[in-house]
Structure 1
Amino acid sequence: MRVTSPVALKEWAVLCAGLGAGDQSVLVRKGGIREPRAAGQAPTFTPEHRGFWLLPTFFHAREPGRDRDLAPAARARLPQVLADAPPAGRLHLSLWAEVDAAVEVHDLARLARLGDAHGLAPGCVADRFAYRKPGLWVLFLRTYRSGQVIDIADRAEYAGCHSWVDLAEVIAGDVEPVLTDREHAARVAELRSALGDA
């Protein structure tokens, strides 16, 4: 499948690796301090794009002790992910994602039903949930892998606590699904049922 877009979603590289390995089909999002905001409102994440490149980030994962924010499988993957990081000033794109469903959840007990399917430790999910206004977005994703790593220059405007990035160039690539149609449908149905969204 050929995809073309200048849009990327920033996410911890170790969670991107979980998506790319087919071990994960969910992200939970709150948004950072530089997200767009309505007048008089706190910054908030919105799932405004259906398809996008995943932009792996390493900043938080390199902070001492941040591995405690990860579920066991993601924590085990972290050393190799950090070892494979691109050199300073470069970014590597190799994963495309499409949103099957986006659900805003305002009940922490519902989120707990997902277990560690999102790659995060329970304490991290609870902290994100409680930050500012209680709630989190759950994104059910279909992930695709590019046949080659797309190397681009890092830019100052990509930095900071915001989810969506408008890349300086339109990125095109041929991608293949990480999971088969049947595997993906079964997993998303199971996760949405667990969340109480099916």
Structure 2
Amino acid sequence: MTTALKEWSAAVHALLDGRQTVLLRKGGIHEKRFAVAADEFLLFPTVAHSHADRVRPEHRDLLAEAETDSTETHIVIRAAAKVVAAVAVSNADGLAGIEDLHIWTAESVQADRLDFRPRHQLTVLVVQAVALAEPIRLAREPHYRGCTSWVQLPATTELGDPVHDSATLDAIAARVRAAVT
């Protein structure tokens, strides 16, 4: 079994396209808080029709391509990620300074990240995305459901090259820390 983090399918495609380098996490409804369960993990794609309004217009082209990765019958795993930094947000105003590092609208960050479970701390994960050598198609199983961050998958794979190099991501991690702590 391999650990996978649930993330919007459009964000997975943005990570692979180099448009995104961070994930904003608080944990699901069935979790007390978000915790990094693994330093390296697969990205489990999720999709919802409401995502279009939550993605900035210049990134909405990712939605149609990403939609087929998460259906009622299957999921397609295309990417893995490695945590470069997990930064707890103590200055939410600083999130505006890193909006170019993700695809979400300011309204989505506010409603879906900050206002959702307001007593829970938001974490910015700086991640190194890696495309899988071959995508993995899995049947959707009932135990993949639920509002949790992490899921275990019956999958192992070969990884391709990272989208961004370590030096670039270390600089991004420093920028995130300066903005939100």
Rate the CA distance shift 1:190–1:44 in 2: closer, same or farther, 3 A: closer
Q: How many residues align?
A: 179
Q: Distance in 1 between matches of 2:88 and 2:173?
A: 16
Tell whether 2:26 aligns with 1:30: yes
Instruction: Report the counterpart of residue 92 of structure 2 in structure 1.
Output: 108
Q: Does the CA contact (< 8 Å) of 2:132 and 2:157 recur in 1? A: no
Instruction: Report the counterpart of residue 40 of structure 2 in structure 1.
Output: 51
Q: Which runs of 5+ in 2 are unaligned?
A: none
Rate the CA distance shift 1:182–1:108 in 2: closer, same or farther, 3 A: closer
Instruction: Report the counterpart of residue 3 of structure 2 in structure 1.
Output: 7
Task: Map residues 16-165 of structure 1 onto 2, 5 A cutoff.
Answer: 16-35=12-31, 43-58=32-47, 60=48, 62-63=49-50, 66-82=51-67, 84-85=68-69, 88-127=72-111, 128-132=113-117, 133=119, 135-165=121-151
Once the 2 structures are TM-superposed, how far is the Cα of residue 183 of structure 1 from its aligned partner? 3.7
Identity %: 31
Q: Does the CA contact (< 8 Å) of 2:78 and 2:131 recur in 1? A: yes
Once the 2 structures are TM-superposed, how far is the Cα of residue 87 of structure 1 from its aligned partner? 5.5
Rate the CA distance shift 1:48–1:87 in 2: closer, same or farther, 3 A: closer
Q: Which amino acid aligns with 1:180?
A: D
Aligned Cα root-mean-square deviation (Å): 2.1
Q: Per-residue CA shift, 1:47-88, capped at 9, x if unaligned?
A: 221110001111x2x24xx42211233323212322x43654
Tell whether 2:153 aligns with 1:174: no
Rate the CA distance shift 1:87–1:11 in 2: closer, same or farther, 3 A: closer
